[in-house]
Amino acid sequence: MELNTAAEHWQAGDAVFADIRDPQSFAMGHIPGAQRIDNSNLGVFLESVDKNAPIIVVCYHGISSQGAAEYIAAQGFTNVSSMNGGFTAWSMSYPEHVNKE
């Protein structure tokens, strides 16, 4: 998914952002409202999200998220995308929309 399209979904509040980066990177900055997922909480995430909800998977540069998006889609989710450019592109394009813990 193109970065600007992901940003439109974020502004509309109509998509779930799933961030697969490590905990330290997520704490240093993430898309507001994004959920950090990894192997330890993936099952809970998959059970808690509507299978028809738009899910946008985010990683560092938009490469690892492609495989994660494919995996989530294979679990029966109908609208899963990987965000092109990842969090790096987001933070450069929308620095005002980055949360830090």
Sheet-wide strand order for 16-19: 35-36, 16-19, 55-58, 80-82
Residue 26 annotated to the active site: no
Q: Checking phi first, is residue 68 left (phi over 0); if not, alpha (psi -120 to 50) or beta? A: alpha
Q: Which amino acid is at 37?
A: I
CA torsion sign for 28, 30, 32, 34 is: negative
Catalytic residue among 1, 55, 56, 59: 59
State the catalytic residues.
Answer: 59
